[in-house]
Amino acid sequence: MSVGDAAEPAATPGTEIGDYRVVGVIGRGGMGLVLEARHARVGQRAALKVLTSGRRGVGDSAVRRFLAEIDVLTRLDHPGLVRVLDAGDSPVHGPWVAMEYVAGDVLRAQLVKADGAPLPLAFALRIGRRVASAMAAIHRAGIVHRDLKPENIMVVPDDEVPGGQRVKLLDFGIAKLTSDDAGHTTEGTVLGTAGYMAPEQCTGLGDVDERADVYALGVILFEMLTGARPFAGASSEVMRQHLFVEPPIERLPSALPAPLRALVTAMLAKEPTRRPATPEVVARLRALEAEHAGALEDEPALPHADTLPARVVPAETVAGHRLRLAQAQQPSTASLAAVSRETPAAPVAKRRWPWVAGAAAIAAGVVATAAVTMRPGARGAKPTLPALPGMVVVEGARFGMGSTPEEVAAACAELGGCDEAVKPQLARESPVRQVTVSTFQIDINEVTNREFSAFLNANSSVIGLREDSDEHYPRFVVDEVTRQTLFDLYVDGGIERRADGTFAAKAGKDDLPVIQVTWDGASRYCRHAGKRLPTEAEWELAARGVERRRFPWGGEAPRCDGVRFGRGKVGTCADASPTLASVGSSSQDVTASGIHDLAGNASEWVQDPFVSPTYTDCGACRDPIAVAASTSGDDLRMFRGGTLKGPAWMTRTTTRSRWKRDAVSDGIGFRCVAR
């Protein structure tokens, strides 16, 4: 027994707690002890969890979490979860719960034993799939774990399953019942373990759903496959990386199956809606396991909400420490509270800061509450109407994305011709691929100089300037935390930096679309606004519709007086005004749903990296997004739509173009979407 355990009377061998007699200590965490015990009459071995003496006060949040954990444990029956045997409230030792005793090692022990080397592929696939299966069960019941990590995954010998090992998910102490959170987590509280926390967990806003667990499992898979987590450092630095730094997918061994690399990449997406749902993770891992690890056991049936036991811990139990467990008709399930070897992030005071400034505070060692979160909601669910201010709802649909060879040939023939230099760009529109996109909302107008200036000013605490290497004046706006270039204060642009250090639109350019913005600057703006950049598929559905419009407004060719395009020296509209127009002012360039300027004025950044070949037919998949960056040496990102100086064929709804992520252009702006 350790010195710490000696201060806990419950840890003394022979101590009786309920009908159980303590044998010894299994582990100790920040909230409680896990004890080996035996039933006093029948001798059944059990893992007994109790709170430490310092965490039993009526007002202590540990009590709420302990009771909420018991509430979780009694609702499910799954081989990946530990069964509850009994529970009670001791006058001396406080609330306790007895769970089945399982002998094995936590996954962390396996990783430590490997000493930085990847675990065998078959083992990683089996463990990952079984964890995903248990997660699918808890998610179906409306429960989010929120602290999934190798310390909370027990690997248990079992000769009756392929591979000879099962998993048991442990420690639901900070789990959340999504349908009826018991009030034990509030906005401004950051809960979890930094190395495995999803970006939305790092903000502390409380809008965390099952997709946070998918992200955590993505980190665990990455760690098993590479020998290390994607991000390392102090907790504050790791949280900053979760928020802003793309995961180093290139560290995944090149010999891994491509579908596995794609799955891990998708699970680690910053935006929750880009991650696959848990049942999809299970299905994809099962397919990989069958191919690379051999035999599979049958997948346990997922619970149905109407078959689950009722909530069993009334609110008054929190104050009195009285546990009233309902009698469930089926064996209930549990979680053994594993000993955490990595300190969870501490709760912080409620405070609202801009998203980027919040990240700066994290980098400085202060976990800050951000002003915006990536929007929650069920995958594929329609947003609540009406749309957010300044946005239009685009109904989800399945449609043919891209152009047929005949459509490309017609565009060249009818819209000014296409020389050899542009044929590779036009080839990117083919083949037509069937995609399904969930309902989303999109900005009516492109982001303006006025709006982007306000964003820069709101994040002035982390904004810096870098000099132009030739002309030596403060030109490039950079994020001091990530060192990413966000914007170019080029003399011909629409934003200037005033003598007092603030940013403002130049005279007469307030309502022009912002240009000279990098992909990172555009993405950061959207996140700051609680939105994100659209995917290519979303952008094309908004511009084209299910009826496959040739232009955003329909089939009529663009007119110089109605669309801002062709203003180059030898362009179709060379005699027209050569300047950008205020957003929303081009009379022809508007969709039936009221979205302006998709064909001209400024082209627009989208989320997707450039890949070649482009999307294949995605069949039954939903909300596709490219997941692999270019191998050309440059990180190339896609932009869509026509531009002020672009030719007529670029005004079509299928035009696809690429540009360097960290570079700017006088023809590229952006707009945002939300769900």
Active-site positions? 147
Let me know how many helices (H) and strands (E) the chain has, helices first: 16, 25
- 3-class secondary-structure state, position 590: strand
Distance, CA of 95 to CA of 171 (rounded, Å): 16
Q: Are 168 and 47 in contact (CB under 8 A)?
A: no
Query: Comparing C-alpha atoms, which of 627, 643, 636, 642 is closest to residue 660?
Result: 636
Structure tokens at 414: 């009818």
Q: How far apart are CA 525 and CA 457, in angstroms?
A: 12
Contacts of residue 671, defined as CB under 8 A and 6 or more positions apart, other chains included, come to: 442, 443, 445, 446, 447, 534, 604
Residues 6+ apart with CB under 8 A from 94: 50, 51, 56, 321
d(CA 173, CA 195): 18
Per the DSSP assignment, residues forming a β-bridge with 169 are 81, 153
Nearest to 516 by CA among 565, 580, 566, 423: 580
**Helix, strand, or coil (residue 615):** coil
How many Å apart are CA 308 and CA 139, to the nearest integer?
A: 13
Token pair listed for 419: 């020389």
Dist. CA 181–CA 208, nearest whole Å: 11
Residue 258 CA to chain centroid, in angstroms? 21
Q: Where are the alpha helices (DSSP H) in 245-371?
A: 258-267, 278-292, 315-320, 355-363
Which 8-state DSSP code applies to residue 81? Answer: B
Residues in the chain: 675
Angle at CA 264, nearest 5°, toward 486 and 335? 115
Phi, psi at 474, each rounded to 5°: -65, 105
For residues 624 and 537, the answer to whether their CB atoms sit within 8 Å is yes
Token digits of residue 416 = 């000014």
What DSSP string describes 404-460?
Answer: -HHHHHHHHHHTT---GGGHHHHHTT-S-EEEEE--EEEESSPPBHHHHHHHHHHTG
